[in-house]
Every structure is written in C-alpha cells, then in structure tokens.
Structure 1
Amino acid sequence: MKKLAIIGFGPRGLHALEMLFLELSKKNKSDIEVHIFENEDELGAGQVWNTKQSTVNWTNITVRALRNLEGRPEINFENLTIPAFPSYINSLSAEEQEALKHLPDQFPPRRDIGKYLKERAQSIVEILQKHKLVKLHKTFVTQIKCVDTIFELVDLTGATYKSDEVLLTIGHQPTKLSEDLTSFEVDSLESNKTFFSETYPIYKIIKSDATSKSKNIAIRGFGLAMIDAVRALTIEKGGRFEISNKNTFASKFITSKNVAEKIIPYSLDGLPMVPKPLNEEIDHQFIPSKKQKERFKNVVLKYANGKLKAENANFLKELFAEIGVAVYNRLENKIECSDSSENLIKTLLMWFENQKHKHECLLNTERNTISLLTNYVSMAANEIEISLDFCVGQVIRHLQPTLYAAFSHAAVEDSLFADVIQFDELMKRYSYGPPIKSMQQLIALYEAQILDFRFVDDPKITAHKDYWRFEKGDARLNCEVVINSVLSAPKLLEVTTPLIMNLLNDDLLQPVHSKLGIETNSDATIVLDDENREIPIAVLGRLAKGSVIGVDAILECFGPRIKDWAKGFVDRL
C-alpha cells in the first residue's frame, strides 16, 4: 500500500486528486491511500475562494472566460464510480446561463466560485472516504522529515504521520516583510496607529474598529487588492453605490458615518489598473487571428525548448509589439496616426521599457489619475478612440495562456526566466485589469471626494505618534490606518511558513533562484543539485519554478501541470 500526502487542498489540490484517480483508472492501478492535510474548513475552496467571505471580493475573470473551467468526467476505479461533475458554466441554472447572454461581462464574487469548488470537492472526497481510499486531517503541517526513504509529517500539535510521497499544493505563502512594511509594523506597535500587513483575509479590515473610526486611511498598492480593500472600507462600512447607467455601470456613491473621510491609494509609479473590455463583442476585436496565435506559440516554444537562445525578454516584447500593431491597425475605432507599422512597433518597444514614453497613439500617463481612469473606462466601453497601449494590453491578455503553457518548464537560463516574469508583471495592469464596474466605483468615490489621488505616485511618508503623514508636492494628509495591498512575490528564501523553512533547513528543498522558486521536473517532482539524490516530493503552484507566471489564475489550478504530476505519480507505482 503506497501512501500519498497532499498538503493543501484548495482548487489545485482538488484537481490533483481528480487527475490522480483518473490516471489510476486508465492504468488499472490501485493499492493506494491518500492523506489530505488541510487546515481550512472548506475543501477545494481554501482561503481565497472561501464561501463565507464578503461579496466585495470579486474574481478577476469573467464568467465568459470561466467556460474554460472544465468539468470532471466519470471515473471508474476498481469497484466504485466517482460521478462526473459539470463545468462551472454548466453548473449554473438554465435561467442564469440565458441571462448571461444579454448582460455585459460578469465578474462573480469569489465566494460564488468557492461554492462550486466546495461542491466539486465534496462529490469526490466523500465517496473516496467511504471506500477508505482517502483520509482527511484538519491540521497544519509544520515539518516533513525523510527517514529511510519514508516521510514523516509533523503538525502543530507534534503528531506525526507516515507517507511514501508528498505533494505540496499550498499556494501563496507569507514572506519576510520588506523594509518599509517592517517600519509600518514597528510604528503601529508603539502607537495608536493601525497597520494591516495583508489585505486578506479581508474580514480583518471589515471588522476592525480602527477602519470605522479613522478619519483618513492609506492603501499601499494600486492594483486589484486595493480595489477589494476600498470596497471593504466603503460598502462594508454602510456606504452604497447607486448605478446611474446600467450599460457602463457609471455610479454615484452614498457614504455613511463609518466610511473614512479620505482614502488614499499609493504606489511607486502611480499608474492605475486598466479595465477589461465591457463585453464579448468589444473584446473580440482584440483577439489575435488564428495564424498570429500559432506563430506566437511556435516562436515562444523554440525559445522555451532552447532551440533559439535569448539573454532577455526582448524576443517576447518584439512578438507582442508585432502582433499588437497588426491588431491595432485593423481596429475601426482607434487613434489615427501617420506612422508606419514599423515605427509603431518601435514605439511599443520603447513604451515597454518606459510606460511614460510619449506618442500620439499612446495615452499620456502624465495626465492626472482621474483623467486616466475615465479614459480607460471609455475605451473599455468602446465610447472613445482606442489607444495603442490599451490595444496591446488586451492582445497580451489573450496571448498569455499560450505564454504560460510554453514557459511551464522552459529550458532557459534563470536570468531569462526572471526577465520574462518581470515583463509579465509589468503588463498585468493591462492584462489582469479589473472589470469596468470596479473602475466606475473608484471614479464615483473620487467624485464623492473620498478617494484622493494626490498622493498616488510615490509620496513621502513620515511616522508620527498617532498617524503617518503623507506628502506630495504641496499636499499633506495624516492617516491613522495603512493597509498593504501588494501581494509579496514568491521568493523562496524569504518565505516565513514553518513547513518551507524546515524543508530548506533540512536540505529537502533547494531554490534554483530566489525569484523563481523551486525547480521541478515536468511531473512536478523537485530537482536537487545532486543528480544522484531522488526525493519524491512534488510541488505545484506559486512556489514552483515555471508556475510563478500565471499562477494566480483559477484556470491554471485546473491546467496541464496537474495532469503531468498525476501521470508521473502513477508511472512510479
């Protein structure tokens, strides 16, 4: 009897279990016992997709895109049948599916997807438990020891569990606080100021007395988590948005006594997120042709496989620029200019290096923040001429799945991998942009004189006894609360989770690059410096090299990497 320990059972752990038994049924193999270690109450959903969280936490993926979250086929294993489970779209009622055809793109609350994931997990776990093929352990694993080829797992209570193989699917892990975050933390401990080092779980912000009583609140970061934090500070504090235009979600904000007078977001560059197109019809014009997608895939694969060599991500930027300009040229509603395609490609390459680069076809980022927001929203609704940067951002979004698939286990130098990741992160303000409705809420809060953009671009911050003072130019504001909304990068050596720290200390994990995480084989098993050592630990998710791009998307949790792991595990039986 071979024992497998799956540590972490969110969406990725759920799909690993599904793929495992699917592969076992294909190869007619059995004699296995799976132990699941998960400290969260809701299997399959985890903390991110928990069904009890606030509705202010929205997904950043449209219901339309969730068509790709496929269902589970029926699995016949030995004398039992694991029932099929529908895709996300097919799990919706007929009325809901029909309504979606006539609405702008919808972005469901995370807890709605969590409900789907929870039910999907129950439908397989319960039947496997009944047949004693799966055992659940609601506990927190802190250490994994390897003793004579057998793993010994230790939890918080000191209890131990034996296993032959281990699969880590633990998702995002906390890391050491940066210097400025450490400063906020220390300052808050020695005064009446309040600092939240993370936005999630968001109920801590919602239930805090400090966020209800403070006059001014600052949010570090100007991305998706910032928007969730803003909704927590407004809707969950008794405020409400009244939609004045159902087509574009233009809104008016009605405040309440528990909403702060001023909320100030800030970041290093002050550049806002760019919303996704309003609906499928508008979005369709940014989709590259089949021929363009195929060429992109073929070229990227040649670099990923080492057939073509590159020292940096310039080859990728050139591809994006070439395809982006071709798509831009075919748009009917765009900013016209006299430049040739060749010159527009050069313009984009300069813009990739500096997003404040100026050109008549690019939206000038030196405009004030509210002007940028309103222009981006109008472009997303196709109400004004599309700029070149908006267009290429959407093109990159449509090509990202191909990029992520090609670079899962790319045979490239770490320096190139790091540069690709850096560029991908840079473009996420376009490709991972929020829905229009979110941006309209920010605009409404600005018009209500609550959201203040005067400090958005790298303000000076000084600590005082009962507040932090923010300064930019002649503007000053004292904030009693600071919320960090910037998700820490998956730097393996800076992770503070006891499990990962102990694995590193015991030499069971070796980072190939502090920015890239753990190097794994195509079947997700870890790669060690000593080629003669083989340790059957597999890693899927944010900490694995090859998973640090695209890892935050729910669809990636049900992607091919999980199937590759399952095939590898079954082959080793």
Structure 2
Amino acid sequence: MRKLAIVGFGPRGLHSLECLCIKLSKEQKDKYVTITIFENEEDLGAGKVWNVNQPNVNWINISERALKDLSGREKIKFSDFEIPAFPSYKKWLPKKDKNLSKTIPDKFPPRNKVGCYLIERANSIISVLKAHDKIKILKAVIVNVDFKSDKFNLTSLDKEIFIFDEVLLTIGHQTTKFDKDVETYEVQSLNRKHTSFSQVYPLKKIINSDKITSETNIAIRGLGLSMIDAVRALTIEKSGRFKILNKKTFESEFISSSNVAHKIIPYSLNGLPMAPKPIHAKMDEIFKPSKKQLKFFKKSIKGVANGKKETNGNSFLMEVIAEIGSEVYLNLENRISLNIDKKGLKKIIIILLEDDSYKHDLIEDSSQDTATILASFVEMAIGKRQISLDYCVGQVVRHCQPILYKTFSHAKVTEEIISEVIKLDEQLKRYSYGPPIESMQQLLALHRAEIIDFSFAANPKIEHKENGWKFSKNGKEITVNTIINSVLSAPEILDVTAPIIRNLLKNDIIKPIHTKLGVHTNKNGIIINADKKEIPLAVLGRLAKGSVIGVDAILECFGPRIKDWAKGCVSRL
C-alpha cells in the first residue's frame, strides 16, 4: 500500500484529489494507495485566498462570464461506492446570474462567493471518501520534508513526524523576504505613532486597526489589484459608500463617513494605473483574435517551446503579439484615426513591448497624470473613447494568455528565455489582468471627493520624520501616518520564508529553475532536484513558476497540469 500526502488543500489540492480519484477509478487501483491531507485552514478547498469569512470588498478579478471555463467534476465510480458529480461554477450559480445578455456589464463576485463554491465541491468528495475510510484529514502545519531511505519524513509545527512514500505540495502563495523599502518602513514605525502594514491581506487587519482615523493620511505602495482591495477596505468597510450614478457605466459618487481616512495616497515607481477590462461581452468581442489567429499564436509559441525554433530572449513572443495585435487593431471601428499600415503598427507594438514609456499618437501618453490615464482607459472600456493601441494589445494578450500558459510551460529552452517570457507576461498584466470597470470608477469617485490624491503616484521622494513619512513630488508635500504595502511578493523560491520551503532547499531536495523564479519541475509536477534524481515529490502551483507559465488565476488551479500529476502518481502504484 503506497502512502500519499497532499500538503495544502486549497483549489489546487482539491482538484488534485479529484483527478487522482478519477484516474484511480478508471484503472481500478484505489486499493493500492492511502491518502492523507494536511491543511491548517478550517474550510477545505478554499485556502486563505478564497476564505469565506473575508470581507465582501475583496473581489475576484475574473468575471463570472469568464468563470464558465471552471468545469465541474464527473461522477467517480469505484468498485464498492460512488462519488457524485459536482456542477461547473456556471451551473452552480443562481438562475439570475446565468446566461446574461452580452450587453449587461460583467459581474465580478467577491472572493468569498467563489470560496463557497469550492468548499461545497470539496465537501462533496471528502465526505464520501471519509465515510469509506479512503482519506485522512490532519489539521497540521508541515514545516520540514526530508527524504531518507526512499521515504519522506514530514515534520509538523508540533514536532510530530509522519512517513510517506509520495508527497504533493499545493501550498499556494507563501510569504517572502521583505522588500528593502518595506523592511525600512517596518523598522521606522516601531515604537512611534505612525504605522506600517507589510502586506494587505488579510484585510481585516487594516479594517480593524485603531490607528486609522478620520485624521489619518494613508499611503498605499503599489497601484495594482491589491491596492484597490485596500482602498475599498478603507472606505466601504469604514461606513463610506459608493452611489452608482449610471448603472451602464458604474460612474459613481462617494458618500463619506466620519470613519474614512483623511487622504489616501497610492504610489508606485512609474505611477501607471491598471487598465480595466471591457465593460461587457459585446465590448470584449472586438478584441478577441479569430480562430485562425489563435492557431497561429499557438503554432508560433509551440515551435519555440519544443526546441525546434531558435529565439533570442522573448523576441518571438513580441513578434507574434505584434502580428495579431496589429491585425485586431486595424479591424476596430473605434480606433484612433491615423494613416498607418500593418507593418507600421507591428513596429510600434514591438517598440512599446520593449519600452512601456514609449510615446506615440496611438498610445495613451504615460507622462499624463494618473487620474487622466485612468479616466481615459475607463472611457475606452465602455466604448466612449477611441481605443489606443496599447489598450487593444493588452486585451488581445488576455485572450492569448491561456494558450501561452499551456503551450510554453515546461518549454525546452534556456532558463534565461523562460525568465524573459515571464517578464513580458508580467509587464502586460497591467492590461490583461486589469480590474473591473466598477473598481476604476470607485477610484475616480474618491479622486473627485478629494480623498484619493494621485499627485504623488509616480516615484515620490519619501523622507521619514518624527510624525510620519513626508511625501514630495513636483513641489507638493504631504505627511502620511500609515503606509500599506500592496505589492505582492513574486514566487522567487530562494526568497520564500516559509519553513517547509527553507528546509527543502537546505536539504537539497528542491532547486529553482532560475534564481528569480520557482521550483524546477517536470511536466507531471515531479521536482528536478539538485542531484538530477527523480524522487516522488511534486510541486503544483505558484511555487513552480518558471517550470510552468501562468500560476495565479483560479482557472489554472483546475487546468491540465493537475491531470498530468494524477496520471504520473497512479503510474507509480
């Protein structure tokens, strides 16, 4: 009997169990394995990210329309019992949220709603497996994994030792060493009246802080999605509210309260805001590449990924993005009128991908103030403004990313090329991972209400003073009492501080695929360790970034890589 441990049971751990059971049932091998799950969270299947007790202001960044691809689970038949099927996310939704018109604005649910789906789905399989003594659930934090005499020794925080033949790690996002700036703010805020939050989540820490009052000036480091969650926590959760003035565009007015902070100062190195996704399905369709174009994209990526086509860095990806992006842009009715052909557009796109500060009449001017850029993108997303080339390319990339993530994972190229591809993908997420229109309209409403001030958005001078931090930019100054870091750490395995990862590195069991990336794994998730020996330890998810491309989206948790692991696991029985 082979003993398997699954460490971490969020969405990936859940789908790993599902895929394993499906494969075991089809090959009639369920009698050959015992399964133990280690998870410290109360709600199995959701993990920290999808916790059902988190505030409603923490929204998912994928529309319910896009979540149609979160497929259900088939019925699983074993010789002596069955695990019932479970519906897809779309079928699970209440009737009022299904089959919406293409012109109705997309809905972006709170994370706790998706968490409810995941927990129901997890309980539907675990309850059956437990009833037939096929699984053990242990509430424990594993801090060390060692491999001796062909066995894994797992040590918990309580110093209990467990022995297994095979281990799967699906532990999701892990904390890393603090950025130098964040570490400095933490030290500067010690024993003083001002405060530093080294991370946004859980939001309740910010919401419940007695250091934040109506007289507080708050700086938020980072202009990404987490910044928006923090802003809602500082406004809606402080009894403020957004009054929607136009239901078709989500234009809003902010009604403040006596609990809302005096000023909120978002900032980053370049001050560039994210671009919102198109308002609804009909608007989004104009950016979707044709089947022929998507086929061309896949063929171009595959040629490099399988090692048959030589490339220099990420130039191959830039070329194919420029090819498809230029074609889509020329077909837009509401594009900026400029006499230019496809060849000229391709050249502009490639220069833009190499330098996102590049200026051109077709590109939204990045030297404008942050609020102006934000408002321009909102108008593009609702169809009230001519669409810039950069906005179009970003939305085209969003439609191509699933193919890139699937095709380029475990590519037969150098580590440097993988790193460059990921770098370009991350750069484009400013557009492709953009927030909902409603989120951006909320920021604009707060700007009009003079609560958010974008004057310091682009790389302000920051000086520590006795009463806080003085921000300076273009002759303007403000002193903030609180700094919130909303920049999520990258999954660089060498910087992860979680004991389980530190010990795996110390024990020479895992190694990074690149110094700036995650764990080196095979296609089936099995790690490639420092000795190049294959041992039955698999890592799926964010910590394998580099081996796999695209690790952050919920849909990736239910992707084909999980099936590859399950197939390999069963083959080892």
Tell me the TM-score range normalised by the shorter chain.
Answer: over 0.9
**1:410-489 counterparts in 2 under 5 A?**
410-489=411-490
**1:179-258 counterparts in 2 under 5 A?**
179-212=180-213, 214-258=215-259
**Amino acid in the other structure paired with 1:534:** E
Alignment-derived partner of residue 543 in structure 2: 543
Q: CA deviation at 1:311?
A: 2.6
Alignment-derived partner of residue 559 in structure 2: 559
**Amino acid in the other structure paired with 2:19:** M
Distance across 2 between alignment mates of 1:43 and 1:224: 25
Distance across 2 between alignment mates of 1:437 and 1:229: 15
Q: CA deviation at 1:548?
A: 5.7
Q: CA deviation at 1:16?
A: 0.1
Q: CA deviation at 1:465?
A: 2.0
Alignment-derived partner of residue 506 in structure 2: 505
Alignment-derived partner of residue 18 in structure 2: 18
Alignment-derived partner of residue 376 in structure 1: 377
Distance across 2 between alignment mates of 1:20 and 1:3: 13
Alignment-derived partner of residue 124 in structure 1: 125
Q: Which runs of 5+ in 2 are unaligned?
A: none
**8 Å contact 2:460–2:471 — kept in the other structure?**
yes
Alignment-derived partner of residue 138 in structure 1: 139
Per-residue CA distance 1:364-415 (angstroms, 9 max, x = gap):
1112211111110010001111111111110000000000001111111010
Alignment-derived partner of residue 397 in structure 2: 396
Q: Per the alignment, in what secondary structure is the counterpart of residue 321 of structure 2?
A: helix
TM-score, normalised with respect to structure 1: 0.98
**1:30-45 counterparts in 2 under 5 A?**
30=30, 31-45=32-46
Per-residue CA distance 1:17-59 (angstroms, 9 max, x = gap):
0000001111111221111001111110011001111000001
**8 Å contact 2:103–2:280 — kept in the other structure?**
no
**Amino acid in the other structure paired with 2:2:** K
Alignment-derived partner of residue 29 in structure 1: 29
Distance across 2 between alignment mates of 1:273 and 1:355: 13
Aligned-pair identity in percent equals 53
**Amino acid in the other structure paired with 2:540:** L
Q: CA deviation at 1:313?
A: 0.5
Alignment-derived partner of residue 179 in structure 2: 178
Q: Does 1:363 align with 2:347?
A: no
Q: Per the alignment, in what secondary structure is the counterpart of residue 72 of structure 2?
A: coil
Distance across 2 between alignment mates of 1:325 and 1:482: 41
Alignment-derived partner of residue 3 in structure 1: 3
Moved more, 258-267 or 139-148: 139-148
**8 Å contact 2:276–2:435 — kept in the other structure?**
yes
Distance across 2 between alignment mates of 1:548 and 1:522: 8
Q: Per the alignment, in what secondary structure is the counterpart of residue 266 of structure 2?
A: strand
Distance across 1 between alignment mates of 2:222 and 2:502: 28
Alignment-derived partner of residue 164 in structure 1: 165
**8 Å contact 1:520–1:545 — kept in the other structure?**
no
Distance across 2 between alignment mates of 1:546 and 1:26: 32
Per-residue CA distance 1:286-318 (angstroms, 9 max, x = gap):
000110000110110110111111131011011
Alignment-derived partner of residue 328 in structure 2: 327
Distance across 2 between alignment mates of 1:144 and 1:299: 40
Alignment-derived partner of residue 276 in structure 1: 277
Q: CA deviation at 1:212?
A: 3.1
TM-score, normalised with respect to structure 2: 0.98
Q: CA deviation at 1:132?
A: 1.1
Alignment-derived partner of residue 289 in structure 2: 288
Distance across 2 between alignment mates of 1:550 and 1:222: 21
Alignment-derived partner of residue 68 in structure 1: 69
Q: Per the alignment, in what secondary structure is the counterpart of residue 283 of structure 1?
A: helix
Q: CA deviation at 1:355?
A: 1.8
**8 Å contact 1:7–1:38 — kept in the other structure?**
yes
Alignment-derived partner of residue 152 in structure 2: 151
Per-residue CA distance 1:123-176 (angstroms, 9 max, x = gap):
001111111111001111111122311111111111111111000000111111
**8 Å contact 1:490–1:548 — kept in the other structure?**
no
Alignment-derived partner of residue 52 in structure 2: 51
Q: CA deviation at 1:99?
A: 5.3
**8 Å contact 2:169–2:540 — kept in the other structure?**
yes
Alignment-derived partner of residue 316 in structure 2: 315
Q: Which runs of 5+ in 1 are unaligned?
A: none
**8 Å contact 2:510–2:530 — kept in the other structure?**
no
Per-residue CA distance 1:420-439 (angstroms, 9 max, x = gap):
11111111010000000000
Distance 1:547 1:123, change over 3 A: farther
Q: Per the alignment, in what secondary structure is the counterpart of residue 404 of structure 2?
A: helix
Distance across 2 between alignment mates of 1:213 and 1:514: 44
Distance across 1 between alignment mates of 2:443 and 2:127: 43
Moved more, 345-354 or 476-485: 345-354
Q: Per the alignment, in what secondary structure is the counterpart of residue 211 of structure 1?
A: coil
**8 Å contact 2:491–2:545 — kept in the other structure?**
no
Per-residue CA distance 1:255-308 (angstroms, 9 max, x = gap):
111111110000011100000000000000100011000011011011011111
Q: Does 1:386 align with 2:377?
A: no
Distance 1:281 1:99, change over 3 A: closer
**Amino acid in the other structure paired with 1:542:** R
Moved more, 202-211 or 225-234: 202-211
**Amino acid in the other structure paired with 1:544:** A
**8 Å contact 2:213–2:259 — kept in the other structure?**
yes
Distance across 1 between alignment mates of 2:78 and 2:321: 45
